Amino acid sequence: MMQVPPTVPATPAKTLFDLQAWLSAGAANKLLDLLAALAIGIIGWWLARRLIGVLDRVLLRFQVDDILRSFLRNIAFAGLMVVIVIAALQKLGIPTTSLLAALGAAGLAIGLALKDSLSNIASGVMLIMLRPFKAGDSVRVAGQEGVIEQVRIFTTTLRTYQNEVIVLPNSEITKAAIVNITRRPLRRIDLAVGIGYDDRIDQAREVLLELAKNHPKVLKNPATAVLVTGLGESSVDLSLRVWVKSADVIQTRSDLLEGIHRQFTDEGISIPFPQRDLHVYHHPSPGKLGMLPDKLLEQAASEQ
């Protein structure tokens, strides 16, 4: 039978000899590099947090929007951490050139796959920085109209006047014309009013001006105006133009329309509706087409 040689217990001298051999093999340098890489990571992370804090205070001082501030903080922190990780890998002796090339290729592929999402992000940053509208503004954009509730990096939330919630991609908003209805404190209401051709224009103008003057929400300055805008097929077209605060537009428009109908009725001023004259002509039957008038008369007499 094969005899197993007895295990010789490790002596302190033997252990010290093995450690010295391991250190002499370059392991000490590797250990130091590992510790240095860890130090780079920890200190770099600490510095990145401090720099992000400074950036946040600067952005807050310049009154940058909260959403944009959060987005810029995250982007800056991610960029700093990438630099720190690359520095730590280089300290460990890991070649980073091929890694950077692979990351670049992966980033390109991801960018192509997520081009719509990246477009929404870029559009969101533009909306937050340029601020064509803010939460609470009434807008018309991309075929929708309502009140802005929230602007985020990817989407914008719009609440319609019927209390419906519409979520619009930011890229669709930046491509379309944006009409901010309540951006200005004052708005002009244009009301088209038609009167009959038999009615007096000056009388209708006086009624309209008096109606606007007595309305509590119609502003005195800018002044109210009544203009003749056209001579239609069935009416003389007038336009009542008044200025109100943006918040009073809907109610004031309704009040004025109701008042116009009431006052015109009391004053005997007509509000004509579209009319069309229809003339009916008698044509001979298809069997008599092409016959001369005298022949038609002769035939009609013979039939009698």
Could you give the CA distance from residue 174 to residue 127 in angstroms, rounded to a whole number?
Answer: 8
Is residue 249 situated within a structural domain?
yes
pLDDT, greater one: 255 or 10: 255
pLDDT of residue 197: 93
pLDDT of residue 16: 47
pLDDT of residue 209: 96
CA angle 67, 105, 83 (to 5 degrees): 55
2: pLDDT strictly greater than 90: no
- Assign residue 201 the CATH number of its domain: 3.30.70.100
Last residue of a domain, one of 118, 146, 180: 180
Could you give the CA distance from residue 128 to residue 124 in angstroms, rounded to a whole number?
Answer: 6
* Overall domain count for the chain: 3
Q: For 166-198, how does the pLDDT look when each residue is reduced to its tens digit (9 = 90+)?
A: 999 999 999 999 999 988 999 999 999 999 999
Is residue 61 situated within a structural domain?
yes
Are residues 141 and 95 located together in one domain of the fold?
A: no
Last residue of a domain, one of 180, 196, 219: 180
pLDDT (mean) for 274-289: 64
Q: For 189-248, how does the pLDDT look when each residue is reduced to its tens digit (9 = 90+)?
A: 999 999 999 999 999 999 999 999 999 999 999 999 999 999 988 899 999 999 999 989
Last residue of a domain, one of 121, 147, 180: 180
Q: Which domain holds residue 167?
A: 130-180
Considering only CA atoms, which of 75, 104, 99, 72 is closest in space to residue 85?
Answer: 99
pLDDT of residue 105: 77
pLDDT of residue 24: 55
Q: For 83-93, how does the pLDDT look when each residue is reduced to its tens digit (9 = 90+)?
A: 888 888 888 77
Q: Which of 44-48, 76-80, 195-199 has the lowest mean pLDDT?
A: 76-80
Q: Is 192 helix (H, G, I), strand (E, B) or coil?
A: strand
- Assign residue 69 the CATH number of its domain: 1.10.287.1260
Number of alpha carbons in the 13 Å side-chain half-sphere of residue 113: 6
DSSP 203-235: HHHHHHHHHHHH-TTS-SSSPPEEEEEEE-SSS
Could you give the CA distance from residue 49 to residue 57 in angstroms, rounded to a whole number?
Answer: 13
Q: Is 93 left (phi over 0), alpha (psi -120 to 50) or beta?
A: left
Dihedral angle, C-alpha 293, 295, 298, 303, nearest 10 °: -100
Could you give the CA distance from residue 150 to residue 129 in angstroms, rounded to a whole number?
Answer: 15
Count the residues in the chain.
304
Give the residue ranges of DSSP H helices in 154-286.
170-175, 201-214, 249-267
Are residues 163 and 201 located together in one domain of the fold?
A: no
Are residues 194 and 262 located together in one domain of the fold?
A: yes
What token pair was written down for 184?
Answer: 């200005």
Q: For 94-151, how does the pLDDT look when each residue is reduced to its tens digit (9 = 90+)?
A: 777 777 777 777 777 766 666 777 788 888 888 888 889 888 899 999 899 999 998 8
Is residue 285 situated within a structural domain?
no
What token pair was written down for 209?
Answer: 């001006």
